[in-house]
Chain A
Amino acid sequence: MFIYTRPAYQFCQVVLQGYLDEQFYQLEELQDESSPNFVEEVVTLFFRDSSRLVANIDQALQKYPQDFRRLDNFMHQLKGSASSIGAAKMKNECTSFREFCNKENREGCLRSFQKVKKEHAVLKQKLENYFQ
Chain B
Amino acid sequence: MAVVAEAQFHVLAVDDSLMDRKLIERLLKTSSFQVTAVDSGSRALEVLGLSEGLTSSSAVSPAHNEIEVNLVITDYCMPGMTGYDLLKKIKGSSSLKDIPVVIMSSENVPSRINRCLEGGAEEFFLKPVQLSDMKRLRPHILKGKSKEQQPQEEETSSTSISSNKRKAMDEELSPERRRLKLSNYSLI
User: CB within 8 Å of B: which residues of A?
Assistant: 18, 21-23, 26-27, 29-30, 32, 34-35, 38, 41-42, 45-46, 49, 76-77, 79-81, 83-86, 88-89, 91-92
Q: Does B81 contact A (CB under 8 A)?
A: no
Q: Do B187 and A30 have beta carbons less than 8 Å apart?
A: no
26 A–B contact pairs at CB < 8 A?
A: A18-B188, A21-B186, A26-B130, A27-B23, A30-B23, A30-B30, A30-B131, A34-B1, A35-B26, A42-B23, A45-B18, A45-B22, A49-B19, A76-B106, A76-B107, A77-B17, A80-B17, A80-B20, A80-B127, A81-B17, A81-B20, A83-B106, A83-B128, A84-B128, A86-B128, A88-B185
Q: Does B27 contact A (CB under 8 A)?
A: yes
CA distance A89 to B146 in the complex (A): 46
Q: Do A30 and B26 have beta carbons less than 8 Å apart?
A: yes
Closest chain B residue, CB of each to CB of A89? B188
Interface of B is mostly: loop
Q: Do B185 and A21 have beta carbons less than 8 Å apart?
A: yes
Q: A21-B185, A26-B128, A30-B131 are in contact. Are A76 and B17 (CB under 8 A)?
A: no
Q: Does B77 contact A (CB under 8 A)?
A: yes
Q: Do B19 and A84 have beta carbons less than 8 Å apart?
A: yes
A79 partner residues in chain B, CB cutoff 8 A: 106
A86 partner residues in chain B, CB cutoff 8 A: 128
CA distance A22 to B185 in the complex (A): 7
Q: Do B19 and A42 have beta carbons less than 8 Å apart?
A: yes
B20 partner residues in chain A, CB cutoff 8 A: 80-81, 84
CA distance A84 to B27 in the complex (A): 12
CA distance A46 to B21 in the complex (A): 12
| In the complex, chain B residues 14-53 whose Cβ is within 8 Å of any chain A Cβ | 17-20, 22-23, 26-27, 29-30
User: CB within 8 Å of A: which residues of B?
Assistant: 1, 17-20, 22-23, 26-27, 29-30, 77, 106-107, 127-128, 130-131, 185-188
- Distance from B124 Cβ to chain A, minimum over Cβ atoms (Å): 16
CA distance A45 to B131 in the complex (A): 20
Q: Please tell me which one of the listed residues B22, B30, B107, B187 contacts residue A42 in the complex, with CB atoms under 8 A apart.
A: B22
CA distance A77 to B20 in the complex (A): 11
A34 partner residues in chain B, CB cutoff 8 A: 1, 29
Closest chain B residue, CB of each to CB of A80? B106
Q: Please tell me which one of the listed residues B1, B19, B77, B185 contacts residue A23 in the complex, with CB atoms under 8 A apart.
A: B185
B30 partner residues in chain A, CB cutoff 8 A: 30, 32
A26 partner residues in chain B, CB cutoff 8 A: 128, 130-131
Q: Please tell me which one of the listed residues A30, A49, A88, A91 contacts residue B18 in the complex, with CB atoms under 8 A apart.
A: A49
Q: Do B22 and A41 have beta carbons less than 8 Å apart?
A: yes
Closest chain B residue, CB of each to CB of A50? B19
B22 partner residues in chain A, CB cutoff 8 A: 41-42, 45
CA distance A34 to B23 in the complex (A): 14
B107 partner residues in chain A, CB cutoff 8 A: 76
Q: Do A88 and B187 have beta carbons less than 8 Å apart?
A: yes
A77 partner residues in chain B, CB cutoff 8 A: 17
- Distance from B78 Cβ to chain A, minimum over Cβ atoms (Å): 11
